[in-house]
Amino acid sequence: MINVIGLGYIGLPTALMMASHGVEVVGTDYSKELIDTLNAGHTTFKEDGLDELFVKAMDAGIKFTTEYQKTDTYIVSVPTPYDKFSKKVDACFVVSAVKAIMKVCPEGATVVIESTVSPGTIDKFVRPVIEAEGFVIGKDINLAHAPERIIPGNMIFELLHNNRTIGADNKSIGEKIKELYASFCQGDIVVTDIRTAEMSKVVENTFRAVNIAFANELAKICRHDNMDVYEIIKICNMHPRVNILQPGPGVGGHCISVDPWFLVGDYPSLAKVIDESMKTNDSMPDFVLNRIYEIMKEQDLTDLTRVGLYGLTYKENVDDMRESPTLQMLESMERHLCGNLVKVYDPFIERNEVPNQIHDLDEFLNAVDLVVLLVAHDEIKQNMYKLAGKVIFDTRHICNIEGTYGL
């Protein structure tokens, strides 16, 4: 039996996937409300294919509880925030989970850390906690690291098809955990040491962050001299060895916007390119706010209550708002005492999360003169004609209505 600890955006799909492929699974989370929701037959967030997978897992006998189980394998999939000042990973949730596991686990149990951590986190924070309790690593408890590689909006497909990395102290434990993930994973599974596994996950997301920052910096340069960044990128990408990404209003989610900071925090004198790239990405919400101000001046618009922000999530077609550029913009506006003026709408966010949030697209459009497209949801792509007559600021390069403003 596998005890999956932490049933959020990563832990829940992982637990459901294993259960639906014949693995006996108990999912554990500290939130009684979350456990009650799952036991009532409901998933806790929106994701294509998740409800169907949930039904299969329930039929296969998956169980949900707030209690840690006595078993031989644990998968820890809890959040790993970072300190915004030091830029270092905060491993408190991982440490807390490991401490709780030690209270119930039998001798020889394997603890798999699936949460994304900075290189060396398991050495610095997890091993000392285990050893302080008198446990011998490799005898009383085995450690492994299996960093997740999925993205909201395509989780189910990527769980099945993405390659995986397993880090372990010894080959036999690594192969045992590889066999567990191979119960559903159709991609290649590489077994290596723990620190290499830690580093590889952070480097993957850092590579993406640096490339996004290059596109965002191009947007700033082109705006400064009134050039069309989208046309320039299109032409450059015709070169067989060039693939520049599209700029955007910022970077959100809990991977690209967070993981690279781990390297900056741990290697401040070495991670110079990464540091500057992250600062560039973090500056984009304020860059967008400045563009809104410029557009309002040009269009002779003075009423912020007639400005509408389309999109609250950090990417299209998901309900995940973590670190979203829109939230960053609203926080910045709040600091300037105007964050509660603009209208906000997102079809995937049904509850009121921010001031002046509207829950109907037509009502939202009727209430605003300037529409700022911040998320490329399919809904707005399919209803672009409804923006006719509006002033449009498109930060995602999805609108072809004449007169649309870009980054």
Using the 8-state DSSP alphabet, how is residue 258 labeled? T
Q: How many angstroms separate the CA atoms of 357 and 146, rounded?
A: 39
Planar angle of CA 125, 126, 127, nearest 5 degrees: 105
Residue length, the chain?
407
In the chain, the amino acid numbered 114 is E
Give the CA count within 13 Å in the CB-facing half-sphere of 321. 17
List the catalytic residue out of 105, 185, 222, 255. 255
In the chain, the amino acid numbered 198 is E
Contacts of 371 (CB under 8 A, 6+ apart): 308, 310, 365, 387, 390, 391, 392, 393
Strand partners of residue 144 = 112, 168
103 catalytic residue (yes or no): no
Q: How many angstroms separate the CA atoms of 169 and 111, rounded?
A: 12
| Inter-residue contact 112 to 149 (CB < 8 Å) | no
Residue 265 φ/ψ, nearest 5 degrees: -65, -40
List the catalytic residue out of 63, 87, 176, 201. 201
Question: Tokens 């707030």 label which residue?
Answer: 66
Q: Give CA 324 to chain center in angstroms.
A: 9
DSSP-derived secondary structure for 395-406: SSS----TT-B-
- Its sign, for the CA torsion 70, 74, 77, 79, is positive
255 catalytic residue (yes or no): yes
User: Cα dist. 136→100, 141, 216, 321 in Å?
Assistant: 17, 7, 49, 41
Please give the positions annotated as active site.
Answer: 201, 255
